[in-house]
Amino acid sequence: MNIELAQVSRWYGNVVAVNDVTMTIGPGVTGLLGPNGAGKSTLLHMMAGFLAPSTGTATLDGTPIWRNHQIYRSIGLVPEREAVYGFLTGWQFVLSGAKLHGLPSPEDAAAKALAMVEMESAKDRRIETYSKGMRQRVKVAAALVHDPRVLLLDEPFNGMDPRQRLHLMDLVRELGASGRTILFSSHILEEVERVAQHIEVLVAGRHAASGDFREIRRRMTDRPHLFRVRSSDDRRLAAALIADGSSGAVSLGPAGLEVQAVDFRRFTWLLPRVARDAGITLTEVSPADEDLESVFSYLISGSTR
Amino acid sequence: MNSVVAGITFRAVLGRRRVLLLLLLPLLLLGLAALLRALGSTDEKAAITLMQVYAIGTMLPLLGLIAGTGTIAPEIDDGTIIHLLSKPISRPVIATTKFAVAAGLLVLFAAVPTFLAGYLLLRGEAGIAYGFAVGSVVGGVAYAAVFLLLGVVTRHAVTVGIIYAVVWENLVGGYVPGARNFSIQQWAQTFAAEISTSGFLNASVSMGFAVPAVLIVTVGSVVWAGQRLRVLSLTGDE
């Protein structure tokens, strides 16, 4: 099944949260990547029928999503907010979901869903006694209980320990491989890269990039990188680096050298060799703009060119 | 009506600390009735004053507020309601179910104790106990619907509800007779007076007004709450 957004915008008062986004989410796993506050949750809520687009349309295989409770036969939703009915046990929670879906044999469906997230052993404890990761898993089980064709997950890996995270990543990959349409949001590139075949990047409410993860990764690494370098002789190192074309601007400051690497691969290969040949000892090489914000702002400046 | 929604709602309301008020207020009513009986002041007038001022005038609106808003507002606040809303169940059915739970709680915690207190004081005298019990049921149903609606349309449901019950019904209604027409507790008293034969019990709103008013307000509030639930927007933490 396909979720289609056509020229969707959403604003709150004067604040634009999502700005003219058009995208189609098809079968397989899609990662919705963007920094915090980019509008990922807003977009996901519009796909899940919990928010009306201010303009544009959100449809599931051509059927409008907003004000249509029948879509939940096909959609499973894992919200970001942790709150679930804490007085229910994991089993009661997932079973209630199965019954609300009107499944023919709710007990079997609930047992199967809990097994998928490896929560059988804790299923008879009240949810309020669960860790954050366990709550997350029981929410995933409740979303999967009716075997939906579409699964939407808002920041699903937050708060999970590494083992649980790997397990959920495997599960999401398997579900995607079986032909389901899966979308999850994340602000961590590595997470998205490990699970999603397809990535949609959202920055400041705008659809900044879309494509295969290799394509996105290449666009993220092929940008000009800024490095901070300290060595035994910054001045001579600067001269040697300028002589090679792989570095753009080189500036010498009190905190050491700032080098703009135009060709990332060549620069990382070149720097140690140049230093060795000139007899200079490198004491520090650190990226000055590796934070996601600058990566994203590069992407969005690229998308508007 | 959906039994799963009802079950979860029931447990959610009774699991909160506010449930203590659901118990304390009727216990206080029964205590006062027992006290009056022990003091020997079991005349009709004293009993009717207790019923009017406390059972209908104070306890019923407060319990209505706890039960009516409590069946939905906290779930909307913390987002747990997504579990119910992300299912192929029509939203009006969810609203109606939650209304039924709230109304049921009010029968249990307001109408039944009201009847018991009345019976304790007067037995079957002049139908006063029966009258106030029916009045409590009618008022409870209307309060459940109105406060459920408040819980859906505003995040300040409890504040708005208190302002309605205290300022409008008790304060304005006390001085401006016309305002009593738009007071749920006055409608409850109309039903009580209709059933009772006591000469001390007079209603300021006629049955001809109270019956359609209760019906319109109750049905209208539940329908409106269902429609508002259909367009309930959830925003993320961003």
| Distance separating alpha carbons of residues A228 and B134, to the nearest angstrom | 81
Interface test with A, best of B8, B85, B86, B227 (most A CBs within 10 A): B86
On the question of pLDDT at A303 being above 60, the answer is no
ipTM of the complex: 0.91
* pLDDT confidence bin for A91, thresholds 50/70/90: very high
Query: B62 falls in which pLDDT band (50, 70, 90)?
Result: very high
- Asked if A69 and B91 come within 8 Å (Cβ–Cβ), the reply is yes
CA-CA-CA-CA dihedral for B211, B214, B218, B219, to nearest 10: 30
Residue type present at position A89: T
Q: What is the pLDDT of residues A76-86, one digit of tens each?
A: 999 988 788 99
Pick from A85, A146, A153 the residue to mutate for testing the B interface (most B CBs within 10 Å): A85
Give the residue on A whose Cα is nearest the Cα of B236. Answer: A41
Nearest to B86 among A41, A72, A87 (CB): A72
From the list A42, A97, A142, the residue facing B236 with the nearest CB is A42
The pLDDT score that the predictor gives to residue B21 is 81
pLDDT the model gives residue A275: 87
pTM for this one?
0.85
Using the Cβ of A130 and the Cβ atoms of chain B, whether some distance falls under 8 Å is answered with no
- Among A5-14, A152-161, B12-21, name the one with the lowest average pLDDT: B12-21
Alpha-carbon gap: A92 to the closest alpha carbon of chain B (Å): 10
| Rounded Cα gap, residues B71 and A261, in angstroms | 60
Secondary structure class of A197 (helix, strand, coil) = coil
- pLDDT of B48 > 90? The answer is yes
Structure tokens at B222: 């539940």
- Residue A184 contacts B where some CB pair is shorter than 8 Å: no
What is the per-residue pLDDT across A169-190, written as a single tens digit (0 to 9) for each?
999 999 999 999 999 999 887 8
Chain A contact set for B91 (CB, 8 A): 69
Mean pLDDT within B177-186: 91
**Checking DSSP bridges between strand A198-203 and strand A28-33, what pairing results, if any?**
parallel
Q: How confident is the model at residue A28 (pLDDT cuts 50, 70, 90)?
A: very high
Q: What is the pLDDT of residue B238?
A: 36
Name the DSSP class of B126: G
Chain A residues near residue B83 by CB distance under 8 angstroms:
84-85, 93, 96-97, 142
| A185 vs B: CB within 8 A | no
CB contact under 8 A, B236 and A102: no
Mean pLDDT on A195-214: 87
| pLDDT score at A193 | 84
Closest chain B residue to A17, measured at CA: B238
Is A50 touching B (CB cutoff 8 A)?
yes
Whole-number Å distance between alpha carbons of A64 and A175: 24
% residues pLDDT > 90 (chain B)? 76
% of residues, chain B, pLDDT over 70: 98
Nearest Cα to Cα of residue A206 among A32, A38, A44: A38
Mean pLDDT, residues A246-268: 81
Put simply, whether A84 touches B (Cβ < 8 Å) is yes
What integer is the mean pLDDT of B176-203?
91
Q: In the structure, what pLDDT confidence band is assigned to residue B139 with cuts at 50, 70 and 90? A: very high
Q: How far B91 CA sits from the closest chain A CA (Å)? A: 8
What confidence category does residue A45 fall into, taking pLDDT thresholds of 50, 70 and 90?
A: very high
A234 phi, psi to nearest 5 deg: -60, -40
How far is CA A296 from its chain centroid? Answer: 13
Alpha-carbon span A295 to A104, nearest angstrom: 49
Listed ranges A225-239, A260-274, B28-42; the one with the highest mean pLDDT: B28-42
Work out the minimum CA distance from A184 to partner chain B, whole angstroms.
14
Amino acid A293: pLDDT: 60
Backbone phi, psi, residue A222, to 5°: -85, 5
Residue of A nearest to B226 (CA): A67
More confident residue, A291 or B102: B102
Reply yes or no on whether the pLDDT at A214 is more than 80: no
pLDDT score of A302: 52
What distance in Å separates the CA atoms of residue A82 and residue A86, rounded to the nearest whole number? 10
- Contact (Cβ atoms closer than 8 angstroms) between residue A23 and residue A207: yes
Write out chain B residues lying below 8 Å of A88, CB-based: 8, 11
Please tell me the distance from the alpha carbon of residue A42 to that of residue B174, in angstroms, as a whole number: 48
Q: How many angstroms separate the CA atoms of B107 and B112, rounded?
A: 6
CB < 8 Å to A51, chain B: 233-235
- pLDDT at position B195 is 94
pLDDT at A305: 37
Q: Is A260 helix (H, G, I), strand (E, B) or coil?
A: strand
| Mean pLDDT (whole number) for B109-133 | 94
A167 interfaces chain B, CB cutoff of 8 Å: no
- Please give the pLDDT value at position A292: 58
For residue B237, what pLDDT is reported? 42
The answer on pLDDT for A151 being more than 90 is yes
